[in-house]
Amino acid sequence: MGKGEADIIIVGGGAAGLMAAIGATKMGAKPLILEKMPRPGRKIMITGKGRCNFTNVKDWFEFSPAIRSNSHFVKPSFQNLKPVDVLDLLEENGLPYVIERGGRAFPASYKASDVIDTLVRTATRGGAKILTDKEVKSIDKIEKVFHVCCADGSEYTSKAVIIATGGLSYPSTGSTGDGYRFAEALGHKIVSCFPSLTALVPQGYKQSQTKGHIDRQTPLSRFGQSLIGLSLKNVQISLYSGQDLVQQEFGDLDFTDGGLEGPIGFAISRNAVKGLLGGGKMKVVIDLKPAVEAEKLAARIRREFPMPPYSYGNILAKLLPKALCHIFRSLVPEPKPEVLAEALKSWTLPLQGYVGYERSVVTAGGVDTGEVSSHAMESRLCRNLFFCGEVLDIDANTGGYNLQCAFSTGMLSGMSAAASVVRD
């Protein structure tokens, strides 16, 4: 299937790879992207429920706490391409945007495909070439030349390579962890990977006794069926490992076909999955009435619902969403205000497992950032080899932070690779 040559080969045409190509072309290089899927940016298509929350307009001080691993590593690339720079870059290339609550940026059309089109157009206008249906199988460095071999038998050589293959999440988009294999073959350590921003499965929620990874497709139990669709607003969730409090979040929680999701479910998922993988007895305690202390809540129940005329069922119906009434009826069989108030403030769900890469938003872990220069994204072990995006041991919360990290590290890797080609 032939041979080809390029100054820079970018393996993977996702968010990071496309931005790397833009960075390289800015410096006058003509990079070649090899993308294994029929079209670039497949994962971008499903981001933000198809609307693509492509960045979060915050300065470093506010942005960095959302990065859950190695934020110090991201800092130089972030300073080189900030969220406002991403807005400007996309707007200059024909993409109007809107900023929503919390600084989250979306294309004005709310179409993720417009973000992909803009990135592809900007990269190719600058001189980048994108080849699709090109699954890279191996990357070798022989003397100063990289040899990149594809599944179709074609081989490409280059002076520099950027690995932008993403993580393991949603493998149907093309992200199947190939980059870890390439990095290891070139001497790099991989920090253990696990799914993050994923559904947590409470004990007995699914028809499965399995602990740990519980496939999203596993049918719900009767308990799960009674809760699916429930959305709790303004509640507090506390994650425990045994008796130790690990994390506490306030906000909205959803019960889905996967398990616990929604903003605060996702926010605790990284620590929960890590704990479960480490063999910890993880549980969540949900405070359904976080604005009021237990004593005051008990007094309020006593005052507002004198019995009769209220039946216990009526009281529960006034205090709780319908789906939770029968659960609390069995947790607190007698209508005792103190006991009920305590139960409402500490609904405890032991965790059985979590939904895996098949539906997790990001992959935690990846190429060890200690072996990569944060100022150039270049390998410290293999000259002219670069990394960017989720393949690195970087992951962040929801809210546009992950794509911004992919864009920042992508841009810097592309610019540095272009400089390295001139350097050597």
Ligand X SMILES: Cc1cc2nc3c(=O)[nH]c(=O)nc-3n(C[C@H](O)[C@H](O)[C@H](O)COP(=O)(O)OP(=O)(O)OC[C@H]3O[C@@H](n4cnc5c(N)ncnc54)[C@H](O)[C@@H]3O)c2cc1C
Chain residues binding ligand X by CB under 6 A are 11-17, 34-37, 42-43, 46-48, 52-53, 134-136, 164-166, 169-170, 174-176, 178, 361-362, 389-390, 400-403, 406
At closest approach, how far in Å is the CB of 18 from ligand X?
A: 8
What is d(CA 148, CA 385) in angstroms, rounded to the nearest whole number?
Answer: 12
Q: Residue 85: CB partners within 8 Å, gap ≥ 6?
A: none
Helical packing angle, 322-331 and 337-344, nearest 10°: 120
What is d(CA 315, CA 59) in angstroms, rounded to the nearest whole number?
Answer: 47
Among residues 16 and 120, whose Cβ is nearest to ligand X? 16
As a whole number of angstroms, the longest Cα–Cα distance in the chain is 87
Among residues 84 and 245, whose Cβ is nearest to ligand X? 84
Among residues 118 and 241, whose Cβ is nearest to ligand X? 118
Among residues 216 and 329, whose Cβ is nearest to ligand X? 216
At closest approach, how far in Å is the CB of 408 from ligand X?
A: 11
Among residues 126 and 174, whose Cβ is nearest to ligand X? 174
Q: Residue 423: CB partners within 8 Å, gap ≥ 6?
A: none
Q: Which pair of structure tokens corresponds to residue 357?
A: 């890469």
At closest approach, how far in Å is the CB of 107 from ligand X?
A: 11
Among residues 305 and 401, whose Cβ is nearest to ligand X? 401
Cis peptide bond N-terminal to 309, omega within 30:
yes
At closest approach, how far in Å is the CB of 403 from ligand X?
A: 3
At closest approach, how far in Å is the CB of 42 from ligand X?
A: 5
At closest approach, how far in Å is the CB of 79 from ligand X?
A: 19
At closest approach, how far in Å is the CB of 43 from ligand X?
A: 4
At closest approach, how far in Å is the CB of 326 from ligand X?
A: 33
CB atoms inside a 10 Å sphere around CB 227:
22
Among residues 162 and 341, whose Cβ is nearest to ligand X? 162
Among residues 347 and 401, whose Cβ is nearest to ligand X? 401
What is d(CA 21, CA 33) in angstroms, rounded to the nearest whole number?
Answer: 7
366 closest CA partner among 182, 215, 213, 200: 182
At closest approach, how far in Å is the CB of 150 from ligand X?
A: 7
CB atoms inside a 10 Å sphere around CB 157:
15
Q: Residue 192: CB partners within 8 Å, gap ≥ 6?
A: 365
Cis peptide bond N-terminal to 83, omega within 30:
no
φ/ψ (deg, to 5) at 163: -90, 115
What is d(CA 70, CA 315) in angstroms, rounded to the nearest whole number?
Answer: 49
Among residues 177 and 337, whose Cβ is nearest to ligand X? 177
What is d(CA 379, CA 162) in angstroms, rounded to the nearest whole number?
Answer: 10
Helices (H), 8-163: 15-26, 42-46, 60-63, 71-80, 83-92, 112-125
Handedness of CA 169, 120, 48, 99 (dihedral sign): positive
Among residues 356 and 389, whose Cβ is nearest to ligand X? 389
At closest approach, how far in Å is the CB of 87 from ligand X?
A: 14
CB atoms inside a 10 Å sphere around CB 308:
7
